[in-house]
Structures are given as C-alpha cells and as structure tokens.
Chains A and B, each alone.
Chain A
Amino acid sequence: MAVLTGAEGIADEPGLATPPSQLSLSEFIDTNIRQTWTDNEIEPSPVADDEEWIRRVYLDMVGRIPSLEETEAFLADQNPRKRSVVIDNLLNHDDFVRNLTTIWTNNCIGRGQPRRVSRAGMEKFFREAFAKNRPWNEVVMDIITASGHFEENGAVNYILAQMQMQDESVQLTAMTTRLFLGLQVQCTQCHNHPFNKWQQSQFWEFNSFFRQVGKIDHRRLDPNTGRQVDDYSEVVWREYTGPVYYEKRSGLMQVAFPIFQGQEVDPGVGVNRREELAKLISNPADGQPPQIALAMVNRMWAHFYGYGFTRPVDDMGPHNPASHPELLNRLAFEFAKNDYNVRDLVRWIVSAEAYQLSSQFNSSNEIDNPSAGEIPMFSHMYIKSMQAEQLYDSLITASNAHQSGNADWSSQENQRRRWMQQFVVAFDNDENDEATTFNGTIPQALMMMNSELMDKACSTDRGSFLSEELASPGKETDKISRLYLAALGRKPSRNELRTTQKFIGAYGGEKLKGFQDLFWALLNSNEFILNH
C-alpha cells in the first residue's frame, strides 16, 4: 500500500538518461523491493497501525514524537488518505527544517564544539537552505565554495571544522568525499585503494581543489580584562597554482593536478578551483547518476529505514555492492532530474510501501535481520535507537515542557546544547575527534533515570504536564490512558490498564506520586526510546 503519487513522467535531460522502465517511480520502488521478498521467499509484515505509524513518521521527519494533541487528532481523523496528508503537513512543518538542520549540522561539524567554528552559523545556513527547500546540489556547491565570516556566511563552518590542524586539506578532502560523494578515499591518501578503483593520485587530484583554502582567526581586545580574546574566524582565498606534490609508498614524489571525474581544471594563476569543482560536482559519470545524488539518496534512505543500500552509507563503489542497485540508481536519477528537491525525495521515501510496514516481524521474515549482518530486505520496519536530539525533543514534547517553563527560546536552546554535550567525548589532541556515546550505555540509562531533565518531565509543579492532566476532570483510567498516549503514542492494553490501576492504587493517599512514577516508567521504557 503505497501512498505515493507523482514524480513520474519527467522529461529526460541530455546526459541524465533514466534507465528505461515503464513504471512510475513509486511503482518502481515498491516493485523493486517486493522482488527482494519474492526472491528470498518471505512475506512482509502487515502495514503498521495508526499509532505505530504516526509516532515513527514524526520521529523520522520532524525529530520528535507527536504531541498528545497531534496523536489524538490523527487517530480520530476518518480521512482514508490521512497518512499522505500528514506527510505533506510535516514536510512544511518548522520542525522538519529544524530536524534536517540538526542532522546536517552534526554531519558537517559533529556534535562537539570544534575550535574556531560557529555552530550557530552552520545551523543558520542549513535552516535557511532547508526552509527554502533549496536544491541540494546548490547547497553542496555553497558549502564547497564558501568563504567569509563564520556567522555572516555560515556555510564556511564546514570547512573550518575540517581545518583543525594544518594538514594540506587532507581532512577536508576525505570528509568531502565521504559526506557529499559517499566515497571513502581516506586510505588512498597513502596508497592505492585495495578494493575500489580510487588511486592514490585521485586522492591528491581531489585534494588539489582545496589547496586555495585559507583561514584567518581574528582576535580582539576585551576592554574589561585588557586581554586578547577570540573573535570571529573566516575562510579566505589563498594563492595556490600548479600541482600538489605527494609521496608514493616507494618514496617517489609525484604530482597531481586538479581533476574531478576525468575533467581537468586549469591549474594556472587566477583560477578559483573550488568554484570550478562546484560546476563539475553535479555531472553524471559514466552513465551513472551524479555521485552527489547517489550519496544523498543513500543517506536519506538510511535515515528513514535505519539502513541504507550500502553499509556504511558513505562507502559506495564497486567494492561494496548496493543491496538494491537499480532502486538506488533510479532514485538518484530522479532526484537529480527533479532539481535535487529534498522535500520530494523525502516524500518518495516515506511514501513507499516498505515505510508503511510494522516493525513487528513474522516467522517468515524474521531472517530479514540486518543487525545480524544480513542484507536489508525492508520487509518490516527496522527499530532505530533515538538520536540524542530526538530523545531530548521527545522528552520535552511528552511532558509539554516547552509550554510549562517560562524559559525563552534561546535559553531552551542552550539547555538542549548543554544536554547534548554530555554525549560528546572530545579527545585530548589537536584534531578534536569525537565519539558520540549514545547507544545504550549505563551513563545514558543514568541520565534517563536521574537527570534534572527527567525530574522536570515528571514534575507535578504548577503548570507542568502532570499537574494539568491530573487536575482535569475525568476518570482515573482515562488519565492513565492519556499518559500512555503522551509517552508511547498508544493507549494501554486492557491488561496494562488493569496492572497500572493496581500500581497507582498501591500508593494509597499519595496518588500523585503514583502517577509520577508511572510517567517515569513510561519515559524510561524501551518502547519510548526506540523508534519502531
């Protein structure tokens, strides 16, 4: 049951020929995935019920669970096309922009605070890009060619974050190919790739596009202390002509000129190489879709399904065959032809039949288990762990904390950032690598159980979610149901309701505490923290 319509019948552009197929894109997606099920003799899971689906689509699209009101409205809606209505609404929701901004800011500069990088600037750049739904290739071009003040042109922060040490733009080269082209070339810095066609020369050819990058870290006098302190940073143009030099394993020195996918750029004076690269980057290569389209499609698919067509998503190439190569190619072709429209891409992905399926598997498709190393067949939804930001925003949503507090927007953002920092372990070196340890650890459990945030979520102070709910008229069973709905997006089963009533009853005259502890348990449960 696919929700999708449209996207078919786009006229071919020269050089961007879609592989011949009679099927519309939506039919193609579903047919291609169904073929995997047939080939492997499995039955897909049934379509997810409304409660399961609405929670998932909110988490994936807007980065948080639906509020109690949003869930109730959806469940009550009788419109048979209500799922596509929700998808359209969410595509135009502020939180959709916020969610993509969070994801891409993290991709570009990490969750930590690299030195001399403005997170606010990076976020502003992405917020504007996603709010206007700018074509993805233009966004990438802006990032690659960026120069200027790190708050006036937020795009420069990507480059600044890769310039944490003087390394002849090696980190910038490796990160750019991974993030925007879906290619891992970092090994070829030192030798030819053992598995794919990337040669050492290609690493340095790509690198030579980034050698005109310079940065200035401005300082200013703090009038209060009389000391020099950090001011803004900026990316500037730096004179660089001719080839780059690199050393072969044998010790032989080699030269590399700026060449991208066989297209050579003038290495002479006055040529802005990053500008030239930006012009080349959406070109298709060898009858394949443009690499930036493949990379974006693979990443976005992985965001919604938990697994992309390759593992990892940023290591594509003949050495690492895709699970659904025709589907990946078709999506990438259509994405490129459709002006790199990110919202349409998201609509295609979440409207596909596979996205509608329940995460509960059956005895026929339990072998479809990528976590055990199997190739994903998308015959049921895969469970995803909430990201730190999703978890934070969902806790806030469930407990209505954004409405109860008197904190303004910027202090709320600061609070969110402080919370996020707990998950960042910055290494003690001059590259400022980071590891986000947010994947089921004891520290995470302690944070969920005991943090100030959880205390607040379960607060019964005036204006809090619990105090409002409990003060409103209605039976105790209704109140219990609403707490389940707020936290888990579903009503309790008959059994759960009975058990919960007994639980609350055991608190005797201190029912308020009972409800608090119930809400604590709901928010700490596996069902809350897992996106299913």
Chain B
Amino acid sequence: MSLTNYGMNRRHFMQHMATAAATVPAMNFLSHVQANANVLKSSQKSCILMWMGGGPPTIDIWDLKPGSKNGGEFSPIDTAASGVQISEHMPETAKVFSDLSIVRSMSTREADHGRGRYYMQTSYVPNPTVVHPSFGSVVSYEIGRNRKALEIPAFVSVSGGGGQAGFLGMTHAPFSVDSSGRIRNEPSEDSRKRLPGRLSMLQEIEAGFINSRRGELPAAHKDVYKNAVNLMTSRQMAAFDAEKADMGLGLDAESDATRDAYGRNGFGEGLLMARRLAQVGVPFIEVNMGGWDLHAGVFDTLKNQRLPQLDKGISALTADLKQRGMLDDTVLVWMGEFGRTPRINQNVGRDHWAASWSVMIGGGGLKNGQAVGATDADGVRVADGSKAYLPGDIWATVSHAMGIPVNTVHTSKRGRPMKLANGGTPIQELIG
C-alpha cells in the first residue's frame, strides 16, 4: 500500500484510521519509490538547453570576423571539427567540437528581450490571443507524460528563467531550482512524518468538492498535489544533489575532479545537475547563464568572466556525456534571445541584433562537427546563398533527434491548430 500515492481510496483512508496517524513510520510511504527506481532506463532522450539570458555576442564566440571593422579583439582558432573555427577564448570547447555544431545563419527579427526570448523559446512571435508553450513544455507534454516512472517534473529550469507552458497547461510549466539544487519549501522531518495522516484527511475534503460539478479546477488542484507529494518523497531527488549517490539510479557522488571540470560556478554546477537529471529520465533541462546584455565593455567581460565559464561548462558536459555513452541520446542547444550588433558601439559594447547570429547545437545523434550557414564578411547579414534559419528550425531539429514527430499539431485553448515548432523544418545538414 502506498500512502503517498495520494490517489488513495476509502479503504486506505479507513486503514489509516485503524492505525494511529502519528505513528505511521516514514519508511512506509517511501516504499513505492523502490519499485519505481528500477523501471528507469538510461537510454532515454533528453535535451539540455543552455540559455544565455540577455543575448550573447555570437560574433565573438562562434562566428568571428577577423579583418572586418566589426571583428573586435578576439581571434579565431581551429577546432577538432575540420574547417570550423571558434573564439580563441573557447579552447576546451574547440577540442570537443566534433560532437558539436554551429548554425551561423539565424535570422530572427525580434531584438527586444521579452519578445526575443518568447520567440526563441516558443518559435512563435508574441500574440495577444494565445500564449504559446516554451519548447521545454512541449517536450514535457510529448515525452514527459509518457515517462510514468519519472517523479521530477519533466521540464526543469536551473537558475531562473523558465518560460511558460501556455496552452499546454500548468502541469508542463518549468520547475525551478537554483544551481545548488535547492527547492523552496522542502518538508521538515516533522512534516514528512505527518504527511500520510494529513493527506488522508485532505483526500476526503477534496473529493467532495471535486464531485460538486464545478468544472475541472478542483480536480486539477488535486493532481498538482499528487505530483508534489510524489516529488517530496522521491528517491530521484538525489539528482539535484551532486554529493548524493544512488546506485539504483546510476548516480555517483560527484568527485572533486568532475566538479572542477564543470566549473565551480552557477553555470558549471547547473550543467552537472542537468546531466544527473538526464540520467534519471528528465527529458528537458534548461540551465540559465545570465550577464550577456553587454552594451558596454564587451571584450573584457567576455575574456575575463563569461567565456572561461562557458568554455569549461560546455566542454566538460560534452566529454562527460560522451564518456558515459549518453551523448547520442542528449541534444545540447545553446542560445539566447538574439545575438549582438556586429558594429561596436562607443562604449565598446554591442547592442541587440537579431538579423544574423549563431546558435550552437550538439550531441543527440546529429551529424556534428559542422558550421551550418554563414554570415557575410562583416557579420551584418546572412551570406548570399546561405539559408536563413528560424527558431522553429532549431526546435524541429531537436524534435527529430528526440523522436517527436515533426508534423505534430497541438490545439490551443480556443481550438486553433498550432504546429510543433511553428512548422519549422529539421536542418538537413544536421540530420543527414
């Protein structure tokens, strides 16, 4: 009998009555997890989105323009992928670039933070009549709900950000944790002990209201609580804590060497947590790295702060996933809401720019080690003869890699058909 299953019936309630509530041992209601643990498989598809809040200057990272007036201070270096060069401040990432790719001809039009973010994460431009789901919510809807053994929400957002579930419903909303894996309002020891008794009473009260013919909200409330209780008591929570080992779930306590490799900063810790979450079956993990809104002093900030962290994080994650045999099942996406102006402003900064910029994508069994598309010599437009890509094309590529049919159509709350990734097409060069 599982008390935490919360969908408990009357018989369970009466059984509870028979035992004194306060004496139900904590272990009793943890038992269901043991059964579920073994069901989890290691070869499940996941996507890790590295979200660069503020809009990263991709011209200084992935698509350098040496010799141009817009070129800036950095030089390109060769990578493990032949013919592909990236910034000199990304040397470790260059070494693993045969497993990564760049799409250099993004042209996305929205150069406002809010609108750009919405567009890149949903593939749709903001529209007053409908709220579109972020792609993490789409994955939660398409894949997460079929992972019955998964007790952590299917869309986890590390360190803020998150987007929204829109018409797919709040069940698919991002679940936020900070980079040390802390979740607000975890239960105290006392609360854990009393949970079974409390839930049995709650069940009684809620059932009456659900049956009172007032629409779907009362039952939806109950579902959320059920998920919250499952989460609180789940063994899978170990994924959030780098120091915890759970061999049944395939989780080690992370060594100092591993943690150093990812970087002892919010981004590195977030990526390490993302790998652990992918191991327990979370299909979409977003890791946020902010501080990209570089209207001033762009080169100093990049060289001294942003790029060293970025380089460590991306390279460690890629190597780690590969070594564990997870890389082909894990798609990596790196993007912000837009790129930054090729022109360098009077404050040695770069402003918002959506017309020609880069997104990085990798792993996921894609044909990696490529640079797809190109910008012109000054980086101000997509080069002649190069196809321009939209966010929907990136997410269609991710869908392809994760096994979500690209022709999937969802229905908005008002009954409007909504194409997956706004009808984008997987990028041919990447899917081979």
Are A and B genuine complex partners? yes
Check A373/B415 contact, CB under 8 A, given A431-B112, A442-B224. yes
B16 at the interface (CB under 8 A from A): yes
B384 at the interface (CB under 8 A from A): no
Contact check, A429 vs B204: say whether CB atoms are below 8 A apart: no
Q: A157: shortest Cβ distance to chain B, in Å?
A: 20
Which one of A373, A422, A440, A524 lies within 8 Å of B220 (CB-CB)? Answer: A440
Bits for A434-454, please: 1 = Cβ < 8 Å to B, else 0: 010101111111110111000
A361 at the interface (CB under 8 A from B): yes
The residues of A that contact B413 with a CB separation of less than 8 Å are: 371-373
The residues of A that contact B187 with a CB separation of less than 8 Å are: 446, 449-450
Q: B75: shortest Cβ distance to chain A, in Å?
A: 29
Q: B118: shortest Cβ distance to chain A, in Å?
A: 9
Contact check, A527 vs B206: say whether CB atoms are below 8 A apart: yes
Which stretch from A18-26, A71-79, A514-522 is at the chain B interface?
A514-522
Interface residues of B in 410-425 (CB under 8 A from A): 413-415
Q: B93: shortest Cβ distance to chain A, in Å?
A: 22
A409 at the interface (CB under 8 A from B): no
Interface residues of B in 168-188 (CB under 8 A from A): 170, 173, 175-176, 183-188
B217 at the interface (CB under 8 A from A): yes
Contact check, A521 vs B129: say whether CB atoms are below 8 A apart: no
Contact check, B161 vs A425: say whether CB atoms are below 8 A apart: yes
Which stretch from B60-68, B227-235, B324-332, B394-402 is at the chain A interface?
B227-235
Check A361/B214 contact, CB under 8 A, given A428-B291, A525-B209. yes
A494 at the interface (CB under 8 A from B): no
Contact check, A517 vs B214: say whether CB atoms are below 8 A apart: no
Contact check, B113 vs A451: say whether CB atoms are below 8 A apart: no
Contact check, B170 vs A440: say whether CB atoms are below 8 A apart: yes
Bits for A400-440, please: 1 = Cβ < 8 Å to B, else 0: 00000000000000000000001001111111010101011
Contact check, A507 vs B22: say whether CB atoms are below 8 A apart: yes
**Residue of A361, A373, A428, A431 ringed by the most chain B CB atoms within 10 A:** A428
Contact check, A430 vs B293: say whether CB atoms are below 8 A apart: yes
Which size class do A's interface residues fall under? 35 or more
Interface residues of A in 384-405 (CB under 8 A from B): 385
Check A425/B176 contact, CB under 8 A, given A525-B209, A530-B221. yes
**Residue of A441, A503, A514 ringed by the most chain B CB atoms within 10 A:** A441
Which one of B55, B185, B200 lies within 8 Å of A447 (CB-CB)? Answer: B185
Which one of B188, B198, B214, B231 lies within 8 Å of A360 (CB-CB)? Answer: B214
Check A373/B170 contact, CB under 8 A, given A442-B224, A518-B201. no
B268 at the interface (CB under 8 A from A): no
A510 at the interface (CB under 8 A from B): yes
B-side residues, CB < 8 A to A, are 16-22, 53-55, 112-114, 117, 128-129, 153, 160-162, 164, 170, 173, 175-176, 183-188, 191, 194, 197-202, 204-206, 208-210, 212-222, 224-225, 227-228, 231-232, 288, 290-291, 293, 295, 337, 413-415
What are 29 A-to-B residue pairs whose CB atoms are below 8 Å?
Answer: A312-B129, A315-B128, A372-B413, A427-B53, A429-B293, A440-B220, A440-B221, A442-B228, A443-B176, A443-B183, A444-B224, A446-B184, A447-B184, A447-B185, A449-B185, A450-B186, A451-B185, A500-B204, A503-B17, A506-B197, A507-B21, A507-B22, A508-B20, A510-B20, A513-B21, A518-B201, A520-B201, A521-B205, A527-B209
